[in-house]
Amino acid sequence: MKENEKEVMTLISSAGDSRSKAFEALKAVRSHDYDKARKLIDESEKADVEAHNMQTKMITEAIRGEDNNEVSLLMVHAQDHYMCAELVRDVVQELIEIFNERDNN
């Protein structure tokens, strides 16, 4: 496996972890366990930071001309996966606060 492919797989894996933790947090909201939901969102955000760091590394390499690989379908998939993971985390994070406020009023 080429180094670039390893980086892409790391991006996909980290984004997948982020998205999974966010959905686990949403399940905790359903049970009104907001502390658990916030803990899971924090874990989701840590995975998201890992994905973001890999994406930034790859973009920086491309800008510097250090990346001789063409854009592949796998890379497009990785970027899509990461973007969706970020969106899910942001929405779930907001839902935690909305439902928590509703339950406490």
Q: What is the 3-state secondary structure (H, E, C) of 21-69?
A: HHHHHHHHHHCCCHHHHHHHHHHHHHHHHHHHHHHHHHHHHHHHCCCCC
Q: Of these residues, 32, 52, 77, 81, which one is catalytic? A: 77
Distances (CA, A) of 23 to 43, 56, 57, 77, 105: 11, 25, 27, 20, 25
Catalytic site includes residue 77? yes
Q: Tell me the three state secondary structure of residue 3.
A: helix
Which residue numbers are catalytic?
77
